[in-house]
Amino acid sequence: MAGSGVFEDIIEGDVFKYYTDGEWKKSASGKSVAIINPTTRTTQYKVQACTQEEVNKVMESAKIAQKQWAKTPLWKRAELLHKAAAILKEHKAPIAECLVKEIAKPAKDAVTEVVRSGDLISYCAEEGVRILGEGKFLVSDSFPGNERTKYCLSSKIPLGVVLAIPPFNYPVNLAVSKIGPALIAGNSLVLKPPTQGAVACLHMVQCFHLAGFPKGLINCVTGKGSEIGDFLTMHPGVNCISFTGGDTGVAISKKAGMVPLQMELGGKDACIVLEDADLDLVAANIIKGGFSYSGQRCTAVKVVLVMESVADALVEKVNAKVAKLKVGPPEDNCDITPVVSESSANFIEGLAKDAKAKGATFCQEYKREGNLIWPLLLDNVRPDMRIAWEEPFGPIVPVIRINSIEEGIHHCNASNFGLQGCVFTKDINKAILISDAMETGTVQINSAPARGPDHFPFQGLKDSGIGSQGITNSINMMTKIKSTVINLPTPSYTMG
């Protein structure tokens, strides 16, 4: 159960504590932030409302701890990460329970998220040992005008304090995708969890605590974005920001100082379907890609662009599968569960109403109870409808019928987003040409967009983000190159 057993230190009364200096603490504010269960729409948990003064102290602890951590042998850092991964997996049940209650993630998927996170941490440890254990040796005589008088030794060094801000939809997995690379690379960490998902994050942090990481190295502050959000992202003690979320990322990028940024800010992933596509495969992928976790994934299929000649057949196949989706509470492992908040449900509803007013075909009746929205396929969507461009983050998938491949590519590229996209065809030559033409960070051929496996590069173009993620890229991003140049008095040529 949440907050019990090995997790009993992280809660006092009914409020979960924040974590710094290797200890669980109560905020001096005496205030808390309520976490509303999306299914019951009542307060499920409470977390501390940390103050700016507390953030200052946390930053100081992180700075001190990092200096020591950077002197800790790489193999020891890896060993601790492996230990944390094992503890996390061992306690998957209570953490998954938090995900079910805080973000209405279907029970089975919640467990998968925790296990995937443990694997991700272990992979970071292994990859870090490999790529951080190597540097470069350069000699000067390859550049015109130089003799071989300079030897350059370059290696990767940590950045310092990494501020990690994960989103509500994968609070544990997208936290560890920042924590793992940061720690193996010798950085310390300040984690600001999303409000929905904060308690799952706090449980995850306790697993790192139990693994025995040095005090101050990992810190987790909770609170209101309005109170500590900007204060954190503009804090002079921060040396790197890794953020996953929505528009807030754009605001952060404008306010952050001279620090490296890693951002993933959503997408409007297009699914282009050609005449020769295997329509059963496409339908299965639209269901998986568009409706899993009720469409609340950055990489969800958010618009289907199908050739007119096969559109009727595809819509029929998708509708048959939509009818089989189980709608209800996450505890019952339903496919479609309540969306994260009432405001989110209202936004989704607004998109559906706009499409209705402008003449889209509703393949199912629009139905909503509280935050629960029934899955909906919208056919005959046109570019003048908001749903053609905006990201619903809900169980609604629009279908736009196209008459040429160019039309599909044009719609995909006209979006402000550029996260992923996918193309379905049996013609690999066409698939490659379309992939090259799509302005997105990744194109999946004959499968729905997805971030994993977690060591694959993951990046968005345009408003979808800054930099690239995936384990290897994140480790590299959270380091800097440091060079030492040995200057010789006379040229020296090996075997010369």
> Which residue lies nearer to ligand G3P by CB, 27 or 299?
299
> 3-state SS of the chain: helix, strand, coil percent to 5?
40, 25, 35
> Which residue lies nearer to ligand G3P by CB, 32 or 169?
169
Three-class SS state of 232: helix
Strands 188-191 and 218-220: what pairing?
A: parallel
> Which residue lies nearer to ligand G3P by CB, 15 or 263?
263
> Which residue lies nearer to ligand G3P by CB, 195 or 444?
444
Structure tokens at 189: 């960490």
Please, are residues 338 and 370 in contact by the beta-carbon 8 Å criterion? yes
Rounded Cα distance, 408 and 414, in Å: 10
Contact between 54 and ligand G3P (CB under 6 A)? no
> Which residue lies nearer to ligand G3P by CB, 410 or 455?
455
Contact between 453 and ligand G3P (CB under 6 A)? no
Contact between 444 and ligand G3P (CB under 6 A)? no
> Which one of the listed residues 98, 201, 298, 422 is annotated catalytic?
298
> Which residue lies nearer to ligand G3P by CB, 59 or 200?
200
Contact range with ligand G3P by CB under 6 A, out of 85-93, 123-131, 293-301, 346-354: 293-301
The residues in 225-254 that bind ligand G3P, with binding defined as CB under 6 A, are 244
Q: Rule CB under 6 A: choose which of 2, 298, 334, 351 binds ligand G3P.
A: 298
Q: How far is the CB of 22 from ligand G3P (least distance, A)?
A: 30
> Which one of the listed residues 97, 102, 127, 264 is annotated catalytic?
264
Helices (H), 419-480: 428-437, 471-477
CB-based contacts of 83: which residues, under 8 Å, 6+ apart?
211, 212
| Catalytic residue status for 127 | no
Q: What is the dihedral of CA 89, 94, 100, 105, to 10 degrees?
A: 0
Contact between 169 and ligand G3P (CB under 6 A)? yes
Contact between 469 and ligand G3P (CB under 6 A)? no
Contact range with ligand G3P by CB under 6 A, out of 104-112, 212-220, 292-300, 432-440: 292-300
Three-class SS state of 220: strand
Structure tokens at 373: 């929205």
Contact between 452 and ligand G3P (CB under 6 A)? yes
| Catalytic residue status for 298 | yes
Q: What spatial distance separates the first Cα and last Cα of the chain, rounded to whole Å?
A: 70
The residues in 409-428 that bind ligand G3P, with binding defined as CB under 6 A, are none
Rounded Cα distance, 100 and 168, in Å: 12
Contact between 297 and ligand G3P (CB under 6 A)? yes
Structure tokens at 69: 């951590």
Strands 136-139 and 269-273: what pairing?
A: unpaired
Contact range with ligand G3P by CB under 6 A, out of 55-63, 295-303, 333-341, 476-484: 295-303
Q: Could you give the C-alpha distances from 251 to 86, 248, 256, 389, in angstroms and in order?
A: 37, 5, 9, 21
Contact range with ligand G3P by CB under 6 A, out of 188-196, 234-242, 297-305, 425-433: 297-305
Three-class SS state of 484: strand
Rounded Cα distance, 84 and 77, in Å: 11
Q: Rule CB under 6 A: choose which of 54, 119, 264, 269 binds ligand G3P.
A: 264
Binding site for ligand G3P (CB under 6 A): 169-170, 244, 264, 297-299, 450-452
Where in the sequence numbering do the catalytic residues fall? 264, 298
